[in-house]
Amino acid sequence: MKHLYKILMLLCFVHTLSGQSIRKSYQEMTDYEKAELVDAFYELREGPDLFNDLAVFHSQFFNFDNTIDPTRRDLHFNLPDEPEREIFLAWHRQQMFEMEQAVQNINPRISLAYWQSPSDQALDSPLWDEDFMGSFNVNWDLRRNIGGNGPMPTLGELASLYNISDFFQFSNELERRNVHRGAHVWTGGAMPTPLSPRDPIFYLHHTFVDLVWHIWEEIHENSAFITTSMLRYDGTYAFDGETLPLVNPNDITDTRSLGVFYAANGVANLNNYIVSNTYRPEEYFYYQYLIEAGDNFIIPDGANCRIESVNGIKFLPGFEAASGSNLVATIDNNTSLQRLSGNKTRVKKAYSFDENINATIIWNEDDKDDTPIIIDTYPNPFTEKITIKLNKNTNCTVSVYNMMGGLIREEAFQNTNTIIINKLYGLSTGFYVINVVDAAGNIILAKRVIKM
């Protein structure tokens, strides 16, 4: 029932948000894709400068002391104290989508790629080749100091993240620790500053961070935000004369809501998606290796879709191309792909000085006790009551919110390790968020639950 519900929810909003993308490790990109992606990044700095606009916005709203002005919203480090403001993962997912759409307006075949930093940390990695990400350091005056600081994440730290079952705890650990932090400080230059989106490697790094969230969500199916709006993507911000869409963070917890699929180890699985042609007349899914399309991948009547691989395409049970749809599936040996930009000159364009390039980011809250004290929260889904078990007695306040952020119930508990929230049978069926705050004001639990 849970999987059916997720699919139904996805199909409800995919038509308004969907794009097109098979994202893969940069190591699985063809030479054609790498060259076209680099050229597209250069082109985006000509005329209206999307790189600079995203960097300045990211810097202006990076992180505020909300005790001084509680009305100001920000992008980073809202956890663990302010889960009602938390948008880190969803905001950066939409940021990657905005950049990718701009790239695909130049060449619909290409997409963002990810840098798998826990296993790719060599100073002479192909990532930094002069015809790939190394091209930008001098030309854009990024002043990287690759490998000068650290530490980079380990595969063990990545595995530990996947074992965290609570969404807000997972998001906080991901944001503050090495899986996210490591590549920023290790790269140097703009990357460990609020102006990090100046560096194109930011987008390969945050595409990996987005992949980590995608995998976590596939495991736990538990992502949920209290807030229903996001800075920049609130329907009021315009870039290059176009107002960006209004996006509820809870509508993009599944990457397929944006038409984004992640490939790995030579396979891209396209599933549970409806082609909608929202952003361009033909949705284009391109991957060098095997593409498998099935399990409710649907091309409706009137929709246009192209699936292209260098090696192979399989159509599996559940794939549907309706009568009246237009599907083109091709195997290309990569010899017919012509560079759209030819031998385009890659213009040198240093950024103007911004004082935030010297800003210090405080990644960890070292004065806080990060030891989990929640043992269990059950049942989920619930009908009449919820029980929360702690590993020690504590004084705390428990609040129950609906998904619009409205407070439904609030109760105080004294010197107990077992919290029981009774008389919930009157609530409507749907999703709710439970917050547990200790006597010092620290949030020790923020969890989405389902009322049956």
Better-predicted residue by pLDDT, 279 or 70: 279
Phi/psi of residue 319, nearest 5 degrees: -80, 135
Tokens 């993507």 correspond to 233
Residue positions counted in the chain? 452
Contacts of 246 (CB under 8 A, 6+ apart): 229, 233, 234, 235
Tell me the average pLDDT across 334-355. Answer: 74
Are 22-258+334-358 and 374-451 equal in CATH topology? no
Whether residue 158 has pLDDT greater than 90: yes
User: What band does 375 get if pLDDT is binned at 50, 70 and 90?
Assistant: low
Work out the average pLDDT over 421-444: 83
Contact (CB, 8 A) for 324 and 301: yes
| Domain boundaries along the sequence of the chain | 1-20+261-331, 22-258+334-358, 374-451
Q: Which CATH architecture has domain 22-258+334-358?
A: Orthogonal Bundle (1.10)
pLDDT at res. 81: 87
In this prediction, residues 87-97 reach a mean pLDDT of 98
Rounded to an integer, the average pLDDT of 215-229 is: 95
> What local confidence, expressed as pLDDT, does residue 337 receive?
61
pTM over 0.85: no
Which of these, 367, 398, 396, lies nearest to 385 by C-alpha position? 398
The DSSP 8-state label assigned to residue 319 in this structure reads -
Q: Name which of 20, 4, 102, 8 is nearest 275 in CA terms.
A: 20
Residue scoring higher pLDDT (428 or 233): 233
**How large is the angle between the packed helices 88-106 and 31-43, nearest 10 degrees?**
100
Residue 6 has pLDDT above 50, yes or no: no
Quote the pLDDT of residue 16.
38
CATH class name, domain 374-451? mainly beta
Q: Do 132 and 38 meet the contact criterion of CB atoms below 8 Å apart?
A: yes
Mean pLDDT value across the chain = 88
Q: How far is CA 407 from the centre of its chain?
A: 27
Q: Which single residue is written with the structure tokens 């040198």? A: 348
For 315, counting Cβ atoms within 10 Å of its Cβ (0-12 exposed, 13-18 middle, 19+ buried), the class is middle
Q: What is the mean pLDDT of residues 131-156?
A: 95
Say what the pLDDT of residue 12 is.
Answer: 35
**Mean pLDDT on 180-190:** 97
- Find out whether the peptide bond into 83 is cis, omega within 30 degrees of 0: no
pLDDT > 70 in the chain, percent: 89
Amino acid at 203: Y
Which of residues 366 and 228 earns the better pLDDT score? 228
